[in-house]
Amino acid sequence: MKINPADAPRPLADEGAIEEAAHILREGGLVAFPTETVYGLGADATSDAAVARIFAAKGRPSFNPLIAHVEGLAAAQELGVFSEEAGRLAEAFWPGPLTLVLPLAPGASVSALARAGLDSVALRAPAHPVARALIAAVGRPLAAPSANRSGRVSPVSAAHVAQDLARRVDFILDGGPSPIGVESTIVSCLDGGPRLLRPGGIATEAIEAALGLSLAEAAPGKIVAPGALASHYAPRAKLRLDAIDLDAYEAGLDFGGRFRIGPMIRDLSPGGDLQEAAANLFAFLRELDALGASRIAVAPIPHHGLGEAINDRLARAAAPRPKQT
Ligand code: TXA
Ligand code: MG
């Protein structure tokens, strides 16, 4: 297999780079690629051996299933069984930052390892042109979690991927910064109707509007999306949420210009725009972490729209965590 050391991502993913990446994927290699939410760590979703390399590179527990990325509805229908509601959601939001968890279709080619042995499958058709071109060039579904070491902050640039996974990935496609900045919204459409498993890049309100009903929240305490548990998306620094003011030694993650201005302060959106805040979230967490502060104070962020996903990620980043190596 051709190993292309990935420490120095290319300036922009052109056709040649996409063809090279597709070749590596067809041979069972790992390619990090941009999506509009975050960068994914991709492998051929039909190959157990290729998918096993994702779990190894990330240090991810193998009971946590992966999303299979497809070109669109037609490809998805070969892998998952669409209920009427699932079809309506795909119609409304694909390609885009929505993942649907569906019953596995008979004869579906997604590897059992990618599904963590479940008889359901998570499917997403990303909108990013580089992701779409890559999936088309490979001609197979791509299993891809976020391209970070397990439990860490998700990458929203090729440089972030290189920081976390250099030498563990065969190739990094650089598509510039991910415009949405938080992971896809995950909706389960198994028995019993649609349920929200993870808030994300599409506001829950928009999904409810498309369905014409209110989404039943996943039953608390039940492991439905294993990655949606406990400590996740964690920087090295501790986080203090809903901070009204800063302690002297704290770095600050501001929203709407509440804190003083300073070298240890980043404002997610001085004008209070939640979309801008989501796009800045992971990059600013990384920047503040790199300054070496032991604690980051985070200003209150409204809970509506993309604020739901932002608050979800911040709560996980602040959760007590196992010792990281
Ligand atoms: O925006 C995104 O969704 C990014 C980009 C790369 O597509 N991907 C991403 O993947 O965030 P990951 O692996 O970090 O999160 C996928 C989530 C996990 O929490 C996993 O447990 C859940 O999807 N999941 C996957 N298959 C599932 C299934 N069959 N049932 C329930 N949850 C599932
Ligand atoms: Mg992740």
| 82 & 162 share domain | yes
Report how far residue 138's alpha carbon sits from residue 144's, in angstroms, rounded to the nearest whole number. Answer: 14
Last residue of a domain, one of 155, 187, 217: 217
Asked if residue 30 lies in contact with residue 170, where contact means CB atoms within 8 angstroms, the answer is: yes
The pLDDT of residue 217: 61
| 251 & 314 share domain | yes
| 19 & 168 share domain | yes
Asked if residue 138 lies in contact with residue 45, where contact means CB atoms within 8 angstroms, the answer is: no
| 210 & 245 share domain | no
The pLDDT of residue 192: 82
CATH at 250? 3.40.50.11030
Q: Amino acid identity, residue 120?
A: S
| 93 & 242 share domain | no
102, part of any domain: yes
| 190 & 300 share domain | no
120 lines ligand 1 (CB under 6 A): yes
Which protein residue has the closest C-alpha to ligand 1 atom 13? 145
Question: If you measure from the C-alpha of residue 291 to the centroid of ligand 2, how many angstroms do you get, rounded to a whole number?
Answer: 23
Asked if residue 143 lies in contact with residue 45, where contact means CB atoms within 8 angstroms, the answer is: yes
The pLDDT of residue 216: 67
229, part of any domain: no
| 98 & 164 share domain | yes
146 lines ligand 1 (CB under 6 A): yes
| 124 & 172 share domain | yes
Ramachandran sector of residue 180 (left: φ over 0; alpha: ψ -120 to 50; beta: rest): alpha
Instruction: Name the stretches of the chain with pLDDT < 50.
Output: 1-5, 7, 10, 219-223, 324-325
Burial of 247 (0-12, 13-18, 19+ CB in 10 A): exposed
Task: For residue 234, list its beta bridge partners.
Answer: none
For residue 119, the enclosing domain spans: 15-217
| 311 & 202 share domain | no
The pLDDT of residue 324: 43
- The best mutation among 33, 36, 41, 67 to test binding of ligand 1, ranked by most ligand atoms within 8 Å of the C-beta, falls on 67
Asked if residue 75 lies in contact with residue 139, where contact means CB atoms within 8 angstroms, the answer is: no
Number of domains within the chain: 2
| 122 & 270 share domain | no
5, part of any domain: no
Quickly list DSSP for 217-237.
Answer: EPPTT--SSGGGSSS-S--SS
The pLDDT of residue 13: 82
